[in-house]
Amino acid sequence: MLELRNVTAGYGAFTALWDVSLDVAAGEAVAVVGPNGAGKTTLLRVISGMIAPRAGALTFEGASLTGRPAYEVVAHGIAHVPEGRRIFPMLTVADNLKMGAYLKVARRAYAESLERVFALFPVLSERRRQRAGSLSGGEQQMLAVGRALMSRPRLVLLDEPSMGLAPVMVLRLFDLIRRVREEGYTILIVEQNVRQVLKLVDRAYLLEAGHLKMEGRAEALAEQDFVRKAYVGL
């Protein structure tokens, strides 16, 4: 479904990603884990078109998306839930979701998408008239995911969904993401919370200082001594 071939990217003179190749098959849930500053967020930003790669190719469902801008990537069926949630705080919950269905194709299916999102996250339905900025951190994250689903994507990119959430909330959120997955969305998730995310996904990549270090089944990776010591903390 999604293929990255030898992608190199960065900001100005700084290179954050070196020669990264990665695949996500339809229906899969894949994680990219690694320490702070490994280039995880940059990777998602390249895929969603927020920054253009310096070298390499990006293909989604057979179409080349290399260097295409963000608004085009969304139209192709990739939704990005950016780091730090990035909801529209002054707009209501309902308006945030409406903005998620901004593209014409998504707008046509607005009512149906809204029903789906409310079924997944009932709390959003309860708070639909509230200003998004007044939601709790966990609810804001749900809203960010819900807003992404409103664009009717096939692939959802999640950037550090657990960031800044209380441990209890993190568990609940991962449960919800699991349900999103069961709805048939393909998921590429970037996380520092390695232990939790490995329970959620099928496969994982380990990113370190801009290089892909390891790749494998989630269970196998969790078993590896090296990973356990460095990231799982056991």
CA separation for the pair 134, 21 (Å, rounded) = 40
Alpha-carbon distance 92 to 227, whole Å?
42
Which listed residue (57, 91, 120, 123) binds another protein by CB under 8 A?
91
Alpha helices, DSSP H, located in 30-182: 40-47, 70-76, 93-100, 104-108, 110-120, 122-126, 137-149, 167-182
Contact residue for another protein among 5, 19, 66, 98 (CB under 8 A):
98
Q: Does 103 bind another protein (CB under 8 A)?
A: yes
Indicate whether 50 belongs to the interface with another protein (CB under 8 A): yes
Residue choice 25, 37, 55, 102 for contact with another protein (CB under 8 A): 102
Cα–Cα distance measured from residue 65 to residue 33, given in angstroms and rounded to the nearest whole number: 24
Stretch near another protein under the rule CB under 8 A, chosen from 35-43, 89-97, 114-122, 162-170: 89-97
Task: Give, for 203, the enclosing helix (H) or strand (E).
Answer: strand 203-208
Structure tokens at 175: 């449960």
Find the shortest distance in angstroms from Cβ 208 to another protein: 26
Mention every residue, 6+ apart, whose C-beta is less than 8 A from residue 76.
60, 61, 63, 65, 68
Residue of 16, 30, 43, 87 that binds another protein (CB under 8 A):
87
Q: Using the rule CB under 8 A, which residue among 140, 151, 186, 196 binds another protein? A: 151
Give the relative orientation of helices 93-100 and 110-120 as an angle to the nearest 10 degrees. Answer: 120
**Residue 123 contacts another protein per CB under 8 A:** no
Out of 65, 79, 93, 170, the residue judged to bind another protein by CB under 8 A = 79
Listed in sequence order, the residues at least 6 apart from 190 whose beta carbon sits closer than 8 Å to its beta carbon are: 31, 32, 33, 40, 41, 43, 44, 157, 158, 159, 160
**For another protein, which is the closer residue by CB, 28 or 95?**
95
Return the residue of 9, 47, 74, 198 that touches another protein, per CB under 8 A.
74
The residue range among 17-25, 70-78, 114-122, 218-226 that interacts with another protein, by the rule CB under 8 A, is 70-78
Question: 162 to 221, contacts with another protein by CB under 8 A?
Answer: none
Residues that bind another protein (CB under 8 A): 48-50, 69-71, 74-75, 79-82, 86-91, 95, 98-100, 102-103, 106, 147-148, 150-151
